[in-house]
A and B are shown apart, each in its own frame.
Chain A
Amino acid sequence: MDGNGRWAQRRSLPRTAGHRAAETTVIDIIEAARSAGVEWLSLYAFSTENWNRPGSEVDYLMRLVRRVVRKHAPLLLARGIRCRFLGAADPRIPRGLAQDFADLATLTADSRAMTLTVAFDHGGRRDIVEAARSLIRSGTPAEEVTERLFADHLPFPDTPDVDLVIRTSGEQRISNFMLWQVAYAEWVFPEALWPDFRAPDFHACLHTYRRRDRRFGGVPPQTNGDPS
């Protein structure tokens, strides 16, 4: 969800206006993903590094997120979307917001149409460190640690590997996002700023993804000539 600030700047609006405009996109994309048959959708809303932004902007974001969560809770429930929040462990998160996160997760826990993971106060490295801690605490011998076992100790271990990452506004960085799960992800970098990003743009990204040839480090099945 990149480009809110730039979107606002281009219109000579305060940065906060960009965040507010992002709400429409969020709902639009959730709806587009669900109708396109996407079963796992993750949104990167707030990173552990975002705490470094000016205090007033962080405060504004917290209030905005809280309003958005509460406003759309019934819709998310009705659409059968299971919501959960990745990260969200920092004590700086206002108590009311944390309660709303927990409530929304409880409310939609049994929904199965799509799982929406909102990465809020998320850091990919931190998750890996947490998994390592959890492994050590469980007393697993070093030689027994496998990739599969390690993944079981990550937060929300049922999350599958990420297939496609869409990073808006032309930025081409990973920015500490779900580092473990994006190992074999395809990346798309549309130029649109997040508040301008809409369902057709999302479908275009899906289309690009479908044309990609995912090899997972292997060789393409039909090669010209003998690979040996």
Chain B
Amino acid sequence: MTTGTTTAADETPLSGTESQFSAFFDDPRWALAMIRATVLEAAHPQIGAALVDNSTFVAHPWRRLRNTFLSMRRMFDADPAVREREAARLNRLHARMSGSDSRGRAYDAMDRGARAWVVATLFESAVTMCRLSGQPLDQDTMERMYAEYRVFLAALDGDAGGLPEDLNDFWRYFDRVVEDELENTEAARVILYRLFDHLPAPALLAGAPTLWAAGRAVVGPLLGAITVASLPEPYRRRAGLPEMPGAPTLMQGAYLAAGLTRFLPEGWINAETIIEALSLSPDSDDPRARTVAALRARMKRASALLRLLTPLGDGTVPDPVPATSRGTGEGRRSAEDFFRQVLDQTGDGHLDWPDLAAMARELATRLDLDEPEETRLYDAFAAWWRELQATLDTDGDGRVSADEYAAAVPTLAGPALIRVAEVLFDATDKDGSGTIDADEHRTLFRTAFQRDLTTTHGTYGRSAFVGDFLSFMSGRRPNTPYDPLLADA
């Protein structure tokens, strides 16, 4: 982080590097506090319902983490234009999320109370994280920070009316919401008990599944216990969360240890570097990727040797399944894999509109689309969804199950999907020449797919682009450049 020139303090406190908020960006305690804040958010019935319906954090947690991080960065950027643009983008994104929860209560991501609560949990978790690690904030800092969070809310909502003006009133507001409004929502349970137990490996460690699973088996329950112990007591009671002996000590120990990293030399821990490194896929063009790839190759060889040296179980090796996925010819990815990795973005086992909306959202974010392109992309995806629903939803429950999908894979690429590809093409073809020239092509792959193309054969015509996109979306070809976009965890 740069230590910029000290500008006049009457500037809005949101501006970049001096704010309390961004001071926490690289603080390891912030990771724990963010999990806690997310549980508190998810415990809010409206937000919880929106998360369960729309969020991709179960199936693609690392991508979601990265997106959230980048979005926060932009919201606290020094340049007001960047902040406004990001706020507008977030508002557009949230405006597309509304519906009703399992009990039929309506939710809306634009609801002012709900959005104020999100900001409140972030602020409260930051304060609590300092308390828990034994370095409480003094009153002045706390008030300054509160003001920053209110500016943050105002940037999103137009004004900060959702949060009390005064810090003293804030605590009353917070306690009231915790006691009266929070519930034991499905989303909160998912985060506490399912997310960490099933957390897929980030791109960086995707080559070492055994290692990842072993680490996760230890760390997952620990993170759960730490988070539960740090939640406000009234909520723990209401949600019926377990009180385990030693959990508070463990939790405070974790916060304390994370807090001790402040004695590390400056720049050792940089959240951006860590997040970027985690989402590094081995075949990207980043120089670090080569180091990682070399390391991973060694790990792969070591585990290959280990497997070869492990004695066989007495020669009578049962061979239950005759390797179905390998033999289906022509490198076709199994329909089930494709459904799980690409189509079912929310990870609920069904394909419905939020899954497709998540794809549109991801594409729009990666391509940095503005209006009206963004709406056109959403419209195209919506049309595709209607087409899918009409052809695939055979039992008429409004969504497409994995079985229904598997039964009808070939019909996936209808005219509506072609329309999606065309909208994408137009968004990339900035000069409207009808072809994506080498520059546009490179930009597309670099920004959207984080991959450098080794072969840029001049231009890329509309039909070639549409063809490639279709063969990816209909699950026909694995390992295309589109994989990192929608399939990565």
Residues on A facing B (Cβ under 8 Å): 63, 66-67, 69-70, 73-74, 77, 89-96, 98-100, 102-104, 106-107, 109-110
Interface residues of B in 374-422 (CB under 8 A from A): none
Q: Which of B315, B323, B327 interacts with A63 by CB under 8 Å? A: B315
Establish whether residues B326 and A104, one from each chain, have CB atoms under 8 Å apart when the complex forms: no
A102–B326 Cα distance when bound, in Å, is: 13
Establish whether residues A106 and B326, one from each chain, have CB atoms under 8 Å apart when the complex forms: no
Establish whether residues A96 and B305, one from each chain, have CB atoms under 8 Å apart when the complex forms: no
A110–B312 Cα distance when bound, in Å, is: 26
Query: Contacts of B315 on A, CB cut-off 8 Å?
Result: 63, 67
Q: Which of B300, B308, B326, B327 interacts with A100 by CB under 8 Å? A: B308
- Take A98-B326, A103-B307, A104-B304 as given contacts and tell me if A66 and B312 are in contact as well, using a CB distance cutoff of 8 Å: yes
Chain A interface, >50% SS class: helix
Establish whether residues B305 and A77, one from each chain, have CB atoms under 8 Å apart when the complex forms: yes
Establish whether residues A90 and B327, one from each chain, have CB atoms under 8 Å apart when the complex forms: yes
- Take A91-B327, A106-B301 as given contacts and tell me if A70 and B319 are in contact as well, using a CB distance cutoff of 8 Å: no
Q: Can you name 4 extra interface pairs (CB under 8 A) apart from A89-B327, A96-B317, A100-B307?
A: A70-B308, A95-B326, A98-B326, A103-B308
Nearest A residue (CB) for B464: A139
A89–B300 Cα distance when bound, in Å, is: 21
Min distance, Cβ A80 to any Cβ of chain B, angstroms: 14
- Take A67-B315, A103-B304, A106-B300 as given contacts and tell me if A95 and B321 are in contact as well, using a CB distance cutoff of 8 Å: yes
Establish whether residues A107 and B319, one from each chain, have CB atoms under 8 Å apart when the complex forms: no
Nearest B residue (CB) for A72: B308
**Size bin of chain B's contact surface:** 10 to 19
Establish whether residues A74 and B319, one from each chain, have CB atoms under 8 Å apart when the complex forms: no
B7 at the interface (CB under 8 A from A): no
B287 at the interface (CB under 8 A from A): no
A170–B309 Cα distance when bound, in Å, is: 37
Interface residues of B in 20-45 (CB under 8 A from A): none
Q: Which of B308, B309, B322, B323 has the most CB of A within 10 A?
A: B308
Establish whether residues A95 and B323, one from each chain, have CB atoms under 8 Å apart when the complex forms: yes
- Give 27 CB contacts A-B under 8 Å: A63-B315, A69-B308, A70-B312, A73-B305, A73-B308, A74-B309, A89-B326, A89-B327, A91-B322, A91-B324, A91-B327, A92-B322, A93-B323, A94-B319, A94-B323, A95-B319, A98-B323, A99-B307, A102-B304, A103-B307, A104-B304, A104-B308, A106-B304, A107-B301, A107-B305, A109-B301, A110-B301
Min distance, Cβ A11 to any Cβ of chain B, angstroms: 23
Query: Contacts of A103 on B, CB cut-off 8 Å?
Result: 304-305, 307-308
Q: Which of A63, A98, A104, A107 interacts with B317 by CB under 8 Å? A: A63
A94–B317 Cα distance when bound, in Å, is: 9
Min distance, Cβ A228 to any Cβ of chain B, angstroms: 48
A91–B329 Cα distance when bound, in Å, is: 9
A69–B321 Cα distance when bound, in Å, is: 22
A116–B319 Cα distance when bound, in Å, is: 28
A100–B317 Cα distance when bound, in Å, is: 13
Query: Contacts of B312 on A, CB cut-off 8 Å?
Result: 66-67, 70
Nearest B residue (CB) for A102: B304
